[in-house]
A = this chain, B = another copy of it.
Amino acid sequence: MAEELNNRSQNILEVIVEDYITSAEPVGSRAITRRHSFNLSPASVRNVMSDLEEMGFLCSPHTSAGRIPTEKGFHYYIDSLLQVRDLSKEEETRLQSSYRFKDMKMEDIMQEVGRVMSGLSNYTGLVMAPKFASTVFRQIEFVRLSHGRLLVIYVSETGLVQNKVIAADPSLTARDLEQISNYLNREMTGLSIPKVREKVARELKAERIRYDELQKQALELSREALQEEAEDLVFVSGTSLMLEQPEFSTPDRMKRIIRTLESKKALIELLDRSQMAQGVQIFIGSQSEHTEIEGCSLVTASFSNKKGAIGTLGVIGPVRMPYSQVIPIVDFTAQLVSRILEREAE
C-alpha cells in the first residue's frame, strides 16, 4: 500500500493537493511553479505529474486541464504528508468558548455541538448521540396513557432521556406503578443496559418471583421498556453549507446530497463505522460501498464517558476539505463532549 515516493514527488503532490483544496480547480504545472518556488521549470513538474498520474495519485478531467488528486492521492496526502499541529492553549480556549452548554439537556447539547462544530468548520455537522444500549441505567418512570398503554420514561446516567409507549395490564393502578418504578430504580440504577436486561431475565426465571405478582409485573414491564433499541438520535446541522461547495453546485448533485443527509439511516451506518476507533477517523469518498456519498469525506471522532456511553460526531464535506483545520476541531469537540458527559454523570 505505502508506495515509495521520492522527495520531489511528495512535495509536488502536496502542493497540488493543497492548491486544489483551496481552489477546487485542476492545478496545472505552470501554476505550481508560479505559486511555489521550487527551482524547477514547468516542464519538469509536468514530468513528475505524469509519473504521479501513472501511479494513480492524480488524474486529469480532460486532456488539457490541470490535474486533480484522486482519492488515492488524498489518502496518501493525509497519511504521509499532512501534519496536524496541536491546538495552542489560546485556540483551545477560543474554541471552547464557542460552545455554551450551561444547563442544557442532553438532546440540546448534541444539537448545539453539531451547530457550533458546523459553524467553526463551515461544513455540515453530524452528531450521533450515545446509543441506547451503551447507556447506564439511572431512573425509570411510568405514566399511564389511555387503553392500558404506558409511557415509559428512561433516564440514563448522562441525562439522556428516552421515552416509549408500551402496552400493559390496564388494571395497574398509579400506586402500583409507583411501587414498580421504585423497585426498578432501587435495583437497576448504575447498571448498563445489557446488564439490566440480563438481570431481568435472570430474576424472571427465579423461583421466588412467582409469589410476588407486582415484582413480576415490574420485571415484565422493564423488559418491554428496554427491549427494543430506540432509534438512534442523529443531528445534522448546516445542511445548506454543503450546497455552497462547488462540487455540489449542479442541481443533480444537490438533490443527491440533500437526499442523503435527509436519510438518517444512511448517516447512522456511516457514523457507526467509526464508533469503535480511538481518535479522529477519516473516510474519504465512497471508500468502497456507500455510493450515496460519492465525492464526500467524513471526519469523525467518538466521545464517551468512563462508563462507556459512546456517541460519534464529525463533519461531512467534499473530499477536497482542509483537513488540517477540520481535524483539530473535530478532535477537540469530541474530547469536550466526553468531558461534559463525565461531569453530567458526576
Contact = CB atoms under 8 A, between A and B. Distances in A.
A284 to B, nearest CB: 25
Interface of A: 103-105, 138-139, 141, 143, 145-147, 149, 151, 153, 155, 159, 161, 163-167, 239-240, 243-244, 249-251, 254-255, 258-259, 262, 343-346
List 10 A-B pairs, minimum CB-CB distance, nearest first. A146-B346, A240-B259, A103-B165, A240-B258, A161-B163, A243-B255, A143-B155, A141-B141, A105-B165, A139-B143
A143 to B, nearest CB: 5
Contacts of A259: 240
Contacts of A164: 105
Contacts of A151: 105, 155, 159, 161
Prevailing SS type, chain A contact patch: mixed
Nearest to A260: B240
A167 B103 CA distance: 8
A118 to B, nearest CB: 11
Contacts of A153: 141, 153, 155, 161
A214 to B, nearest CB: 18
Contacts of A244: 255
Contact of A243 (B105, B240, B254, B345): B254
Given A143-B138, A146-B346, A251-B243, A165 B161 contact: no
Contact of A161 (B161, B167, B251, B345): B161
A104 B163 CA distance: 10
Nearest to A345: B146
Contacts of A155: 143, 151, 153
